[in-house]
Amino acid sequence: MDKLPRHRPTRHFEKQQRLLIDCELNVCPHCGAELKPRHSRHMRKNVQTLKGPVWVTGKSKKCVNPECSHTGEYYYASGVCLISLPFSTYGLDVLAYIGWRHEHEHKQMGEIQSELNGRGVLVNNRNVGKLYRQFLALLGALQEPTKRKLEETVRQHGGGDLGYGCSAAGRLWEFAVCVV
């Protein structure tokens, strides 16, 4: 295997699918006035999926009603989050693939990297580990029984409220649980 340069390579994908995702809202949730499309896109990026690279563009809208309490507020296309996480150029299907191969088939990160590279997803070993940690964070956030057990434990010990937080420090999504 040839060693790649240490700097981040510029990736050019030929014959990639293009997705233009509009904001799902048509009316302002605060005043009911029609939202106007903005000319700029709030997000544009190449996303590598298991089906091939995709150019994803998200369009936003804004409320232009002068009587609205949220005049000028922007509403973004949330559909882009169904394809990839914010600040990530890998699809959610790639995260699920990495998580499944590591958790259920007990594959090492290097093996998963080789498999993904063989399927046309350009990724290095370090990013496979990062994507696996993002998979674990998403998986942990989806578990409702865990949240209920924690809330019950807090109540049993006379604690206050259970707080959940999320930060994007270093572009690694971290979920924290604390008893207040």
Query: What are 50-83's pLDDT values in tens digits?
Result: 999 999 999 999 999 999 988 988 888 888 888 9
Name which of 170, 177, 99 is nearest 134 in CA terms: 99
pLDDT, position 106 = 95
Query: Residues 30, 70: one domain?
Result: yes
Query: Residues 31, 78: one domain?
Result: yes
- Residues 42, 74 contacting (CB under 8 angstroms): yes
Query: Residues 150, 165: one domain?
Result: yes
Report pTM. 0.70
Instruction: Specify if 4 maps to a domain.
Output: no
pLDDT, position 161 = 47
Name which of 99, 120, 133 is nearest 49 in CA terms: 120
Range of the structural domain that residue 133 is part of: 90-142
Instruction: Specify if 67 maps to a domain.
Output: yes
Instruction: Specify if 46 maps to a domain.
Output: yes
Query: Residues 102, 50: one domain?
Result: no
- Tell me the β-bridge partners of 56: 19, 45
Query: Residues 47, 66: one domain?
Result: yes
pLDDT band for position 172 (cuts 50, 70, 90): very low
Q: How far apart are CA 46 and CA 48, in angstroms?
A: 7
Domain count, the chain: 3
pLDDT greater than 50 at residue 123: yes
- Residues 65, 27 contacting (CB under 8 angstroms): no
Own/partner pairs, 153-162, CB within 8 angstroms, 24+ separation? 154/179
Name which of 118, 141, 114 is nearest 128 in CA terms: 114
